[in-house]
Amino acid sequence: MASTSLPVVARIAFLTADVVVDSLPTPPTVSLYAQKYNILSTTSTHKPRVISIPFGADPGSTLIRNTSNLTSFTASASSQVLTRLVLHLGEISALPIVLHLAVRDDLSDVLLLRSAVPFFLLSTTAQQAHDNALLAARLARIESKAVVHAFYADSPAESLDEIPEEKILPFLLSAIHPNSPRATNGHTTSLPTNGVNGHGHANGHAPSTDDQGSINLYKAYEAAALDTLSLLRRPLRPFTSQGSPEPHTVIFTLGKENLPTDIAGISFVSITLANPLPHSRLLHNIPSSATRIIVLEQVYRWHSKWTPLYLEVVSALQHRSSEQDIVIQSGILGDTSNVQEPDILNLISKSTTSPSSRLLLGMVPAQGSAADALPHVPKHEAAYTKILAHLFNERLEISNSPYLVATQGEIATTPEYALGRVRGQLDSRADFVNTVQELLQDGDIDDDLHSLLAKWVLAKDDVVKSSTLGKAIVDALESAPVDHPASNKILTLREFLPSRSRWIIGSDAWSYDLGSSGLHHAIASGLNINILILDTLPYSSRNNIDPHRRKHDVGLYAMNHGDVFVASVAVFSSYSQVLQSLTEADRFDGPSVVLAYLPYQSEDASALDILKETKLAVDSGYWPLYRWDPSKEKVGQEPFSLDSDAVKNDLKQFLDRQNHLSQLVRSKPQMATELVSSLGETVKEARKKRAQESYAALLSTLDAPPLLILYASDGGAAEKKAKRLENRAKARGLSTTIATLDSYTLETLPEDEHVVFITSTAGQGEPPQNGRTFLKALNAAALRGDEILKKIRFSVFAMGDSHYWPRPEDAHYYNKPGKDLDSRLAKLGAERFVDLGLGDDQDADGSETGYKLWEPLLWKALGVDSVEVTEAEPEPITNEHIKAASGFLRGTIAEGLEDFSTGALAPSDGQLTKFHGIYQQDDRDIREEREAQGVEPAYSFMIRVRMPGGVCKPDQWLQMDQISDEHGSGTFKITTRQTFQFHGVIKRHLKPAIQDINRVLLDTLAACGDVNRNVICSSIPTMSKLHEQVFNFAKEVSNHLIPRTTAYHEIWLDKKLVAGEALKDFEPLYGEFYLPRKFKVAVAVPPTNDVDVFANDLGFIAVVGDNGELKGFNVAIGGGMGVTHGNKKTYPRLASVIGFCTPEQGKYVAEKVMLVQRDHGNRVDRKNARLKYTVDRMGLDVYKAEVEKLLGYPLGPTQPFTFDRNVDDYGWHTGSDGKHHFTLFIENGRVEDAPGRDFKTGLREIAKVHKGTFRLTANQHILVSDIADEDLDQIKGLLRQYKLDNLEFTGLRLSSSACVAFPTCGLAMAESERYLPILVDKVEKICEENGLRHDSIIMRMTGCPNGCARPYVAEIAFVGKAPGNYSMLLGGGYYGQRLNKIYRESVTEPEILAILRPMIKRYALERLEGERFGDFTIRAGYIAPTTEGRLWYEHSGGEGVHREGATELTAAA
């Protein structure tokens, strides 16, 4: 049951109307109407169209455009909404519309509508609001006239009697009641039929004072009230009279009151029907004994002298037949909750002693101060206002700033008022310029002042010069006063000296009704004013608004004006484009309109949600990014600039296709002769082959039943099974078709007789991406009860992992898509010819165990189980086949790069490009949207640079920065492999990007793939000589292990093989198969383990001699992070130390360790192919022996070493060579410009002047290194200017790290880089509450279990399992010396915070001296320590009372 009257009215408004128009309140307030509508839309059978319009928009035009049998308008009564309604009431009043207006404690605004609408009802209780809402709906529908229903929103809805939904529509559609209502008691309000109180007429005719229109409206009200009475069994009275039957005083009330009515000589009449208000009805309630009338109305802000009800009563009394004089007074009805009989008597006494003063009964609620009334500015708008403040600083003037309300009133924030202010300011400045020129004419001023004034006049619009010269003029006039009136005026109006950047910021509502809005006036004014219009409508809600209001079309309207600068921007899409647009708008001499996209439903929306909505809107073309500068036309330049990469790429592809087509229609096609020379023979051969294949297929399928195989697969496992099943079906003579689930519709499915479905499970029991649309349609049809698949026979094989969601309450997620598919198909009438098959990854052979039981049943049901298959089944193509057949990593990459019909490469080439440092990806934020549009995914590529040791020069940094802008997404990533990574590179930009990388002597070869990848080393800013030695060692190892294929230079750098390809490639280390899996090398320098050396396949731990020189390295092998959820054959492992080598031996040791892995690694199962599994399978001693055998000598004994941390050393450090280094914090390694954090620009400016180097850290941060003393101040200044020297972060944030994950990583199951900062915000508050602000706690997050951010050695880690769902791990070593362990298999954010809050508090109170958080969780009994990788799963889920489910078990016991 609803708690107040507002949801009660919202329910009736929804259930009675065909169209509901909801006027939204001012942000951040959420519409309570909308909340109720959202609930009703899922629970009610009635489905009206709901249209939401933003605050400030004109609701009248929407109501007029959306007329229906009955339209409900709902809003909270405010002056801005109601004054806009008044303009349209002439049209609205003749339409079947009910305007439900919620008031708080004042009827001043809503009574503005009373005289302009046929009917006006007022409800003061929740029950009355419910009943009057029904009455209003009936009245509006029958009479086709508007009804205003005002009600008090906060009236409690206790003991409410609501009409069931099924009775409402019949009530509205019932026939008109044939009889007029008749009196039932002394308080009814029908027109009198006898001479009661001397005011009626015996013949039953109405008094002559009532006009016929008013009589007709009143009778219509009475008829509707009688119909409503028959439904509700409760009377609905327009007037309620209580108190003395022969009073001397009658008190009329209009508003919410609770008065004692048993006072002698006083009658109380409360008004429910405020219009129509026939005079005869008012007189009917004034007995002849009355000598005084008091009219009390709840109007606290009524600015006219006479209130509306008072005027009506006065008019009625003019026609009273009695000759007795009556005194009538008006008053204010306040809060009467504490009014008693003495207060009423005191009111009457005051009316006698002060007949001319306005009376007051009750307390008037306190009105807020001007400061309290400051409009709320939504926090998300700061994304744009901060940029304005950053760009224009002191020049910025927001002409409708909320802070003006305190001095100029509420109207100050309206754009129309602001436009007037701007016009006044510009006129005043023009007058000021005349004053300056007047002073210039004075021959007595000195030359210096004359020069300053003259220069200012010439540069008055210059951003910098006007301010500088202005300060100089003021100083000159104050130091040497000039005896001239203009001098004093200049000093008084000195604010006009600098050139201002004037902005009006408005919501998108200002662009409605363009021809008559303030925006139109601003555009037509020609003033030098900038207008920023914010559009907050999320892309996913775009279909829920009035289609006549495409707000971003205001840009087209402004461009058509011809002399207006127009830009469309989105800060969460392109920050640089926003900066450029705002700068150009400010520079433009004339009106500028900047449309800014900021999609959010409420202030609770996270930045991540806004980012996703923005990407959908921009990439789909819904919100194009562009700039229109008409001033460019005057200099012969193109005025329009399209800045949307997605739109530009689509346009480019379209033009490319058009060019291909134009080649074909030319009379002399310009094609290579070799392309057409043998065309005839080729076509003949192809036709012959096709005919043979068709004939063979015909023979084999004459008697075979057709079979359709539909699959849904994300990772490819279900797809492989489906394709294998297809081959086996064809071998048995079945006519087989295979396709993805989403490529078929429910409508086309009945065309096939036998259908087999194979689906895997994604996320939290969700269907894979290419099956979701089909499943949604299937669920909808099942809910409707359709039986549209009766002709189909089907079987389903489902693939999942029974341990993926181990909690009992999550067990239903196991194979949920397949189970749902099976049950829904049966519900739709399909016949199951083989029972549901279930494949479980936990079985001995994984999903094959269940599949081997299911497939024979399939052949038997189809009658082909006896068919003997003699052909050998083709071996599935694996990565090993692709590598071997690639021609040393060539494949068909070069040909694929020339194919612009798709943004992707062939799947096999996608595997090979990894060896070239390239991953094919697509934007997963918009994958579903593009699929719905029928276009391929938004393919792009990630490029990773090979940069051993993570050191780059300033010119290389500048090139990386430029590449990100010209070829990538405008940002780049510092990875945990100490290098650069670019995202969003489209196919046509791949080759130019890689050529640009090579141009500065860097490359991407072997940055990914089954080879040795980027060799990383400690950054150690203080030990300059030692860093130089380990850095050179890292480069030496990298160069020694790099692949020798020339394919990279051929494909990307256009370096062809010589001698007609007579010389063939040879890989001395890798061979044609390369390695079974990737191979990672790290070099650490104790005591800092910033590279997590034990997490690598091969680790070198530097050992320094007593003389400070590098003595050699301890060698560790077998580390690795990758895991597969639920697969206990996979686990993380820390490297084991096997001995010592000298620096000279290091590269050969690396080679031999790698060769043993090459020869003994698992090439059958890539999930068990890393070196860590080879070490555990062979045994550490055996592996070491193989290495030493290849070396020809034993490794030396392990040397002592100590680590104490793996975080970066932030701040300033001075090396042993006297050079300076600064380690700056880059959260999660993302180098970008954002509001208040122009880090990308700052680092670019540093690179332009820096003479040293940059070092990238394995924790994703940056060192500005090797700064000489003479350059120190300049670098410090730039760091300070761009806030890069800010290290005032919590220890938790400084120690956090995340991989990229969504939207680009194809393996991601959950958010990581975009979400971890949000989670850290919440966890660090817990740390600060417990005094741990500066304590370092290693927290890491990855979007999948592959471990790119090295989560398994963190003290707290979160590994993505599904969107918003993570495995939580605890107990890692602070310096990477111990693996953590799964504490909870599946947690969401609320659960994370609930777990960490008491745990962190206990750590703060009970930790030992110097004890780290990971160590504490073990000592305190939360988690067991992990002693080795193979035992990682043992004791997972917590210990003792902290074990998962222990609380529930204890409670049950």
Res. 711: pLDDT tops 50: yes
1305 is catalytic: yes
* Strand 396-398, strand 501-507: pairing: parallel
- Range from 316-325, 643-652, 963-972, 1435-1444 carrying the lowest mean pLDDT: 643-652
- Bigger pLDDT: 1077 or 425? 1077
The predicted structure's pLDDT at residue 667: 40
Residue 677 has pLDDT above 50, yes or no: no
The rounded radius of gyration (Å) of the Cα atoms in the chain is: 40
151, 294, 295, 326 from 253: Cα distances, Å: 15, 9, 6, 18
Q: Is the pLDDT of residue 448 over 90?
A: no
Q: Where is pLDDT greater, at 306 or 983?
A: 983
Give CA–CA dist 1133/1241, Å, rounded.
40
Statement: residue 984 has pLDDT above 50: yes
pLDDT band at 1179 (very low <50, low <70, confident <90, very high): very high
| Lowest-pLDDT choice from 525-529, 675-679, 698-702, 1358-1362 | 675-679
Residue of 152, 140, 146, 26 lying closest to 79 (CA atoms) = 26
pLDDT per position as a tens digit, 1277-1304: 999 999 999 999 999 999 999 999 999 9
Q: Quick check: is 1064 catalytic? A: no
Per the annotation, the verdict on 1017 as an active-site residue is no
Sorting pLDDT into bands at 50, 70 and 90, what band is 516? very low
Question: Which residue, 447, 600, 543, 551, is CA-closest to 932?
Answer: 543
Name the active-site residue from 612, 977, 1013, 1219: 1013
pLDDT of res. 693: 61
Confidence of residue 322 (pLDDT cuts 50, 70, 90): low
What pLDDT is recorded for position 403? 78
What are 550-593's pLDDT values in tens digits?
555 688 888 888 899 999 999 988 888 999 999 999 999 999 99
Find out whether 783 and 744 touch, Cβ atoms under 8 Å: no
Grade residue 306 by pLDDT with cuts at 50, 70 and 90. Answer: confident
Q: Is 1008 a catalytic residue?
A: no
Decide the pairing of beta strands 97-103 and 292-297.
Answer: unpaired
Amino acid at 108: S
Structure tokens at 1031: 């850095």
Residue by residue, DSSP assigns 165-198 as HHHHHHHHHSPPPSSPP---STT--SPPSS-GGG
Name the active-site residue from 1348, 1350, 1381, 1412. Answer: 1348
Average pLDDT over residues 506-511: 63
Give me the pLDDT at residue 204, please.
34
Catalytic residue among 1008, 1017, 1305, 1327: 1305
Dihedral sign of CA atoms 1018, 1022, 1023, 1024 in order = positive
Backbone φ and ψ of 1174, nearest 5°: -65, -45
Closest C-alpha among 975, 1015, 999 to residue 1052: 999
Q: 79-93, 257-271, 396-410, 1128-1142: which range is least confident on average?
A: 396-410
- Mean pLDDT is lowest, of 415-424, 537-546, 976-985, for 537-546
- Which of these ranges, 375-379, 862-866, 980-984, 1207-1211, has the smallest mean pLDDT? 375-379
Which of 987, 1078, 1158, 1172 is catalytic? The answer is 1078
Residue 548: predicted pLDDT? 57
- On the question of pLDDT at 668 being above 50, the answer is no
Q: Tell me the C-alpha distance between 48 and 62, whole Å.
A: 15
Alpha-carbon distance of 893 to 602, in angstroms, equals 47
- Measured distance CA(504)–CA(281) in Å, rounded: 52
Q: What is the pLDDT of residues 1382-1393, one digit of tens each?
A: 999 999 999 999
pLDDT of residue 837: 95
Contact 663, 671 (CB under 8 A): yes
Beta-bridge mates of residue 1224: 1262
Average pLDDT over residues 1342-1355: 95
Beta carbons within 8 Å of 604's beta carbon, 6+ residues apart:
none
Give 719-749 pLDDT, tens digit per residue.
Answer: 999 999 999 998 888 889 999 998 888 888 8
Per-residue HEC secondary structure of 1097-1159 comes to: CEEEEEEECCCCCEEEEEEEECCECCCCCCCCCCCCECCEEEEEECCCCHHHHHHHHHHHHHH
* Active-site residue, 944 included: yes
Say which of 1017, 1141, 1299, 1327 is annotated catalytic: 1299
Share of the chain above pLDDT 70, in %: 89
| Average of per-residue pLDDT across 431-447 | 85
Residue 686 CB neighbours (<10 A)? 10
Residue 465 has pLDDT above 50, yes or no: yes
pLDDT tens sequence across 159-218: 899 999 999 999 998 877 655 443 333 333 333 433 333 333 333 334 456 788 889 999
Identify the pLDDT of residue 523.
85
Question: Residue 663, class by beta-carbon neighbours within 10 Å (0-12 exposed, 13-18 middle, 19+ buried)?
Answer: exposed
Tell whether the model's pLDDT for residue 1176 goes beyond 50. Answer: yes
Per-residue burial over 847-881, b if 16 or more Cβ lie within 10 Å, else e, is beebbeebbeebbeebebeeeeeeeeeeeeeebbe
CA distance 1146 to 743: 55
Over residues 218-263, the pLDDT tens digits come to 999 999 999 999 999 988 999 999 999 899 999 999 999 989 888 9
Flag the least confident range among 685-699, 871-885, 1073-1087.
685-699
Note the pLDDT tens digit of each residue in 1320-1343. 999 999 999 999 999 999 999 999
Please name the residues in contact with 247: beta carbons below 8 A apart, sequence gap of 6 or more: 265, 266, 267, 287, 289, 290
Is residue 498 very low, low, confident or very high in pLDDT (cuts 50, 70, 90)?
A: confident
Q: Quote the pLDDT of residue 226.
A: 93
**Looking at the DSSP assignment, which residues form a beta bridge with residue 478?**
none
- The span from the CA of 1052 to the CA of 263, in Å, is 99
pLDDT, averaged across the chain = 87
pLDDT at residue 675 above 60?
A: no
pLDDT tier at 607 (50, 70, 90 boundaries)?
confident
pLDDT at 1047 over 80: yes
Q: What is the distance between the alpha carbons of residues 728 and 859, in angstroms, rounded to a whole number?
A: 10
Residue 696 has pLDDT above 60, yes or no: no
Give the Cα separation of 471 and 450 in Å (integer).
14
Classify residue 1185 by burial, with Cβ atoms within 10 Å: 0-12, 13-18, 19+: middle
CB 290 within 8 Å of CB 328 = no
What residue type is 1059 in one-letter code? A
Asked if 1310 and 1362 count as a contact pair (C-beta separation under 8 A), the reply is yes
Please pick, among 987, 1080, 1230, 1237, the residue that the annotation labels catalytic: 1080
The number of angstroms, rounded, from the C-alpha of 736 to the middle of its chain's C-alpha atoms is 43
Name which of 282-296, 457-471, 639-653, 760-774 the model is least confident about: 639-653
Residue 441 reports pLDDT greater than 60: yes
Res 80: pLDDT? 76
pLDDT for the residue numbered 649 = 64
Burial of 158: CB neighbours in 10 Å, binned 0-12, 13-18, 19+: exposed
pTM of the model: 0.74
Catalytic one among 772, 819, 944, 1381? 944
**Widest Cα–Cα separation across the chain:** 131
Residue 374: is its pLDDT beyond 50?
Answer: yes
Confidence bin at 20 (pLDDT 50/70/90): very high
How far from the centroid of its chain's Cα atoms is residue 828's Cα? 37
